[in-house]
Amino acid sequence: MKKKLTSVNYLVLLAASAFFIFPLIAAFEFSLRVNKGKSHGFENFRWVFQQGGFKTNLGVSFRLALLTAVAVLVLMVPTVVYLHLGGGRWKRMIEFICLVPLVVPVISFALGVGTAFPVFLQSTVYELSFLYVIVSLPYTYRALDVGLSSIPLMTLVEASRASGASMRQTLLFVIIPTIRSAVNGAVFLAIALSLGEFTLAVLLHWDTFPTWIANISQGHILNAIALSVVSLVGAWLVVLVMAVAPKSLRSNKTQEATS
């Protein structure tokens, strides 16, 4: 049985890879075309960096991502922990509420929620962060919920309490370190969403990196592709740092512990 599955796995892997990697290679090849496709070079990229607004808009997007990440960290982590400790009574309702942003098309948010926001919030690009927190809610909640469900939370809390720790100490010393990968996942999801979001930014008439790319790309298709590759590689770097760094830190610690 195992033998058969292995070859199936290879096929699956190949198919999945082709789905992503072929388009990526094609896009990269496109981005290198210069002289109307007659030769290859990095000129498109150079052109990209020289466009006005590159730094500004990338800066806005990164600040939005940071703000969203902080909001998720500060609002969501304690909330989901409290829900888990308080028993399952509210979980169903909260889960339902967290599904809402999934079923409400983003466009409805832009129009409906946008108009209902207090004016002082609407006057700054950072209103987007509020919307991003809401839109990412189904995913961030789910990530934290899965993380907390996979640990014996109640026992750990009681063990910590019995050892003499306050709830604050328990949260900081025991719970957060234990679900750190879930917390990282939630924050990462929020960041990825903030960096790439287009609909809300465009409909609420704010300039972010994605809307700037869409703008710039009108009539400059090759350059736009190069830009998409750049933003893609940039985002990849963020993932890699976020995904690999904690793991290597952890394995260092383990090595130290077992040596």
Partner 1 sequence: MTEQNRVSVQLQGLRKVYGDAVALENFSLDIAPGELVALLGPSGCGKTTALRILAGLDTDHTGQIIINGKDIAGTPANKRNMGMVFQAYSLFPTMSVLENVAYGLRVRKVDKAKRDARAQQLLDLVGLGAMGKRLAHQLSGGQQQRVALARALAIQPNVLLLDEPLSALDAQVRTQLRDEIKRIQTEVGTTTLFVTHDQEEAMAIADRVGVMRHGVLEQCAPPQEVYLNPANVKVAKFVGAMNSLPAEVTSPTTLRIYGQTVNLRVGEGGTPTSKAGMALIRPEQLTLTHGDGSGPASATITNLTFLGPLTRISVRMTGDSSVLFIAMPSAIALDFPTGSTVNVEIRATSVLLDF
Binding site partner of 205, from partner 1, a copy of itself, none, Cβ cut-off 5-8 A by kind = none
Q: Which is nearer to a copy of itself, 41 or 86 (CB)?
A: 86
192 is a contact residue toward a copy of itself (CB under 8 A) = yes
- Minimum CB separation from a copy of itself for residue 259, in Å? 25
**Long-range pairs, 72-75, Cβ under 8 A, ≥24:** 72/133, 72/136, 72/140, 72/186, 72/187, 72/190, 73/183, 73/187, 75/133
Q: Which is nearer to partner 1, 115 or 259 (CB)?
A: 259
214 is a contact residue toward a copy of itself (CB under 8 A) = yes
Binding residue for a copy of itself, selected from 64, 77, 139, 144, defined by CB under 8 A: 139
- Where b means 16+ CB within 10 Å and e means fewer, 227-253 reads bbbbbeeeeeeeeeeeeeeeeeeeeee
- Minimum CB separation from a copy of itself for residue 38, in Å? 18
Please report, for residues 39, 80, 181, the alpha-carbon distance to residue 83 in angstroms, rounded to integers and kept in the order given: 60, 5, 19
Please report, for residues 183, 229, 235, the alpha-carbon distance to residue 240 in angstroms, rounded to integers and kept in the order given: 16, 16, 9
70 is a contact residue toward a copy of itself (CB under 8 A) = no
- Minimum CB separation from partner 1 for residue 157, in Å? 10
Q: Binding residues for partner 1, per CB under 8 A?
A: 1-2, 151-152, 155-156, 158-166, 169, 173-174, 177-178, 180, 254, 256-259
- Minimum CB separation from a copy of itself for residue 123, in Å? 17
- Minimum CB separation from partner 1 for residue 69, in Å? 22
79 is a contact residue toward a copy of itself (CB under 8 A) = yes
